[in-house]
Amino acid sequence: MSAPERSDGAFWDVLRATTQSRIGLGRTGDALPTRRVLEFSAAHAAARDAVHQPLDVDDVATRVRELGIGDPIAVTSRAADRGEYLRRPDLGRVPADLSDVPTVPDADVAIVLADGLSPKALTDHGAALARAILDALPPDVTVARPVIATQARVALGDHVARALGVRTLLVLIGERPGLSVADSLGIYLTHRADPEDFAVGVTDAHRNCISNIHPPEGLGYADAARIAAGLVVGARRLGRSGVDLKDTSRAELGEGTERPALG
């Protein structure tokens, strides 16, 4: 059935309330209305700023320190600056120096907070999301000292996990900004049978991703943490992560069951 014709725009107003996508923008002659053009330009500028804005490591470290799992360790990739990071993704996957990262053989999980393609996302959501994850993890799961990584891609975390000596890695990283959201955070989980297995052969098929974390519009901290904690437990039970590991948290809650508040 085709949508009813509404000259007052009420039809599009209802749909716009359900999405951040640009729909039903209207028209002035053969062009978009000036207001819509300015909105697009502002969104584009926000996305560019989110990509190029350097991470304030000291600010993030101060808030991460309050999590109570140790003083955060700062590492960086081999990308010398933001420009090289964007031009050379390969350099963002390799650490410049991990000599300050201690081996923690009795830790189960490592949390790496990485700037990624949106340092703003890590600034806005990183510490709060990490707090929610710590609250959601089972009490018998031990967590290593947190690591803050700059000019970082997801795979940089593999080197950190190997250096720490853990088998389960959670990388909280700024996602590529779009024209609707500039501060979305993602979680990448990787589990290996042995910490040395992080050295070679890890591909995206070995990872699980929870994306679009940016409350209040996107996925909230509690829901994201609940899924991450479930994946950690599942990966430890299965002995691996990636395509064989599924998120069963919604099924375990039951159809129509209210989700518990975490954290």
CA torsion sign for 223, 208, 121, 141 is: positive
Residue 154 marked ligand-binding: yes
Residue 39 marked ligand-binding: no
Residue 175 marked ligand-binding: yes
Question: Measured between alpha carbons, how far is residue 115 from residues 121, 175, 176, 248, 252 in Å?
Answer: 8, 9, 11, 29, 33
Specify binding-site residues for adenosylcob(III)alamin: 154, 175, 209
Specify binding-site residues: 154, 175, 209
